[in-house]
């Protein structure tokens, strides 16, 4: 419920069905994304935003009380009921008063859903305590120079956004692409810092779908997930994991030293570090995901094939938990970025993908000479081991399509210098 902390009393925990309803995304015709950044504020601007946040919480609680009293959860109806009272008792502008009523209606609707699903689950009126405030296109304006204008209780303020210096930062993906339009966003204050969660949306593209009788060729990009290279594609893009590992070890070392100190100051520093680490890792993984998508676009791929992450968890020792987490995050990022491109993400069993020779098909443990080196015992082919894994992952999905009686096309695997198909073999690029 966003900035809602609902005060609830219950006789037993929420049902799985209820939790599923809360987590299930609302279907619409748009793709929706959030980009997080920080506004650079003066002391005066911070004071204005602090007051705006406080008034926002008051407005949401007023609307919640009125909606609870009248049993009203519909946005526009609650807006009509609460608007005048909010305007009289707070210093908010008219649009923020409307947004507060809508926020309260969403919270009340969620509480009502609990009782509808479980008559024994008793709830009370939702209360708003989080230090957040909603913005929309009438209360916030983004400018091309990387600044933002925000409505407050005393007019508007304009400030710069703390964006990455280079264009690789994932925020630029949405800020610089005219297809993404700004929607409802949230400003929050946490540990003395302000964060702007910018909402974006764009229309969903036409989805590439396998249907009966589909005789079109499909091109697959294979991706291997590893340790030395966090990701390698069948088109020979290598995303080194060295810097990620180094930064993670540094964070772990400093965190361990602070934990031994055991003071409250050390605990606060650990919390701040965790936020910095998460932001750094998220930004790095966004860059890798963007490059994987660029490889797919450049080589005309309709599919991206990954190894099934369940198998990674089974074969990776506990010391590799960080890499398991990073792989999961990376795959999630690629999935939702691919959706925006109309590209499908698929998964295959990675069994023997690091041991099978992509040239002759010979499979043996002896083919894997070292962590990063592959040499086939049968045909003598030598390649980077991660690259071999990427080709085998993609090839496995290509061959899965051949086994389907519904497909008559000639699927193909994208390589650096061309494509390879089951029927025609290697075809060099023009």
Distance CA 394, CA 347 (A): 9
Residue 362 lies in a domain: yes
Quote the tokens at residue 66: 């009125």
For 62, half-sphere exposure in the C-beta direction (CA atoms, 13 angstrom radius) is 24
| pLDDT > 60? residue 13 | no
Burial of 114 from C-beta contacts in 10 A (0-12 / 13-18 / 19+): buried
Query: What number is the average pLDDT over the span 120-134?
Result: 81
212 and 192 in a common domain:
no
Looking at per-residue confidence, does 200 or 322 come out higher? 200
Confidence of residue 19 (pLDDT cuts 50, 70, 90): very low
So what's the pLDDT on residue 297? 86
Q: Domain containing 61: what range?
A: 30-203
Order of strands across the sheet that contains 193-203: 30-37, 193-203, 181-190, 132-135
Looking at per-residue confidence, does 109 or 369 come out higher? 109
Average pLDDT, the chain: 79
So what's the pLDDT on residue 319? 42
Residue 231 lies in a domain: yes
The residues, any chain, with a CB within 8 Å of residue 425's CB and separated by 6 or more, are none
Residue 340 lies in a domain: yes
pTM here is: 0.56
216 and 199 in a common domain:
no
250 and 155 in a common domain:
no
Distance CA 269, CA 258 (A): 8
168 and 291 in a common domain:
no
Burial of 46 from C-beta contacts in 10 A (0-12 / 13-18 / 19+): middle
Confidence of residue 102 (pLDDT cuts 50, 70, 90): very high
Of 149, 168, 115, 176, the residue nearest 39 (C-alpha): 149
Q: For the chain, how many structural domains are there in total?
A: 2
Query: What number is the average pLDDT over the span 126-133?
Result: 92
Question: What is the percent of the chain with per-residue pLDDT over 70, rounded to a whole number?
Answer: 77
420 and 288 in a common domain:
yes
367 and 318 in a common domain:
yes
* CA-derived radius of gyration, the chain: 26
Which of 186, 203, 220 represents a domain boundary (last residue)? 203
3-state SS track over the chain: CCCEEEEECCCCCCCHHHHHHHHCCCCCCEEEEEEEECEECCHHHHHHHHHHHHHHHHHHHHHHHHHHHHCCCCHHHHHHHHHHHHHHHCCCCHHHHHHHHHHHHHHHHHHHHHHHHCCCCCEEEEEECCCEEEECCCCEEECCCCEEEEEECCEEEEEEECCCCCCCCHHHHHHCCCCCEEEEEEEEEECCEEEEEEEEEEECCCCCCCCCCCCCCCEEEEEEECCCEEEEECCCCEEECHHHHHHHHHHHHHHHHHHHHCCHHHHHHHHHHHHHHHHHHHHHHHHHHHHHHHHHHHCCCCEEEEECHHHHHHHCCHHHHHHHHHHHHHHHHHHHHHHHHCCEEEEECCCCCCCECCCCCCECHHHEEECCEEECCCCCCEEEHHHHHHHHHHHHHHHHHHCCCCCCCCCEEEECCEEEECCCEEEECC
CB 393 within 8 A of CB 348: yes
Residue 47 lies in a domain: yes
Residue 2 lies in a domain: no
Residue 319 lies in a domain: yes
Instruction: Point out the least confidently predicted range of 70-79, 192-201, 212-221, 250-259.
Output: 212-221
Quote the tokens at residue 68: 């609870």
Which of 151, 179, 203 represents a domain boundary (last residue)? 203
Q: Which of 87-91, 253-257, 361-365, 378-382 has the highest mean pLDDT?
A: 87-91
Query: What number is the average pLDDT over the span 241-269?
Result: 78
Which bin fits 191, alpha (ψ -120 to 50), beta or left (φ > 0)?
A: left
The residues, any chain, with a CB within 8 Å of residue 62's CB and separated by 6 or more, are 82, 85, 86, 89, 90, 100
Residue 372 lies in a domain: yes
So what's the pLDDT on residue 163? 86
386 and 293 in a common domain:
yes
So what's the pLDDT on residue 166? 67
Looking at per-residue confidence, does 367 or 233 come out higher? 233
Looking at per-residue confidence, does 211 or 240 come out higher? 240
Bridge partners for 185 per DSSP: 135
The residues, any chain, with a CB within 8 Å of residue 225's CB and separated by 6 or more, are 231, 306, 307, 309, 312, 327, 330, 331
233 and 138 in a common domain:
no
321 and 247 in a common domain:
yes
57 and 102 in a common domain:
yes
The total of other beta-carbon atoms located within 10 Å of residue 257's CB is 10
Residue 24 lies in a domain: no
227 and 309 in a common domain:
yes
Which of 188, 203, 218 represents a domain boundary (last residue)? 203
273 and 157 in a common domain:
no
Quote the tokens at residue 39: 């506004």
């Amino acid at each position: 419920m966003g900035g809602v902390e609902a005060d609830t009393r219950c006789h037993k925990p929420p049902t799985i069905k209820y939790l599923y309803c809360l987590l299930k995304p609302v279907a619409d015709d748009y793709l929706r994304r959030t980009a997080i950044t920080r506004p650079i504020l003066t002391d005066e601007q911070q004071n204005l935003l602090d007051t705006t946040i406080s008034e926002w919480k008051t407005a949401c609680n007023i609307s919640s009380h009125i909606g609870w009293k009248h049993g009203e959860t519909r946005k526009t109806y609650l807006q009509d009921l609460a608007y005048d009272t909010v305007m009289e008792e707070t210093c908010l502008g008219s649009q923020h008063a409307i947004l507060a009523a809508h926020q309260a209606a969403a919270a009340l609707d969620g509480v009502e859903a609990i009782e509808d699903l479980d008559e024994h689950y008793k709830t009370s009126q939702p209360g708003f305590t989080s230090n957040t405030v909603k913005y929309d296109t009438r209360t916030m304006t983004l400018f091309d120079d990387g600044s933002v204008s925000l409505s407050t209780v005393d007019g508007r303020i304009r400030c710069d956004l703390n964006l990455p210096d280079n264009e690789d930062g994932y925020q630029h993906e949405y800020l610089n692409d005219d297809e993404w339009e700004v929607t409802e966003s949230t400003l929050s204050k946490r540990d003395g810092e302000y964060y702007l969660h910018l909402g974006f949306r764009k229309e969903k593209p036409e989805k590439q779908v396998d249907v009966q009788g589909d005789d079109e060729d499909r091109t697959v990009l294979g991706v291997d997930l590893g340790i030395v290279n966090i990701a390698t594609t069948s088109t020979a893009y290598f995303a080194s994991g060295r810097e990620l590992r180094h930064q993670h070890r540094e964070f772990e070392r400093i965190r361990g030293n602070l934990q031994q100190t055991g003071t409250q100051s050390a605990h606060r520093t650990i919390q701040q570090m965790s936020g910095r680490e998460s932001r750094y890792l998220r930004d790095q993984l966004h860059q890798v995901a963007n490059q994987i998508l660029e490889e797919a676009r450049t080589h005309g791929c309709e599919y991206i094939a990954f190894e099934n992450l369940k198998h990674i968890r089974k074969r990776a020792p506990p010391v590799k938990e960080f890499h398991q987490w990073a792989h999961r995050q990376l795959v999630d990022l690629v999935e939702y970025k691919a959706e925006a491109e109309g590209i499908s993400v698929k998964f295959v069993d990675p069994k023997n993908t690091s041991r099978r020779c992509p040239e002759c098909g010979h499979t043996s443990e002896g083919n894997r000479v070292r962590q990063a080196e592959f040499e086939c015992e049968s045909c003598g082919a030598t390649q980077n081991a991660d690259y071999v894994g990427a080709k085998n992952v993609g090839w496995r999905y290509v061959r899965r399509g051949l086994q389907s009686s519904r497909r008559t096309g000639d699927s193909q695997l994208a390589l650096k210098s061309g494509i390879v198909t089951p029927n025609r073999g290697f075809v060099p690029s023009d």
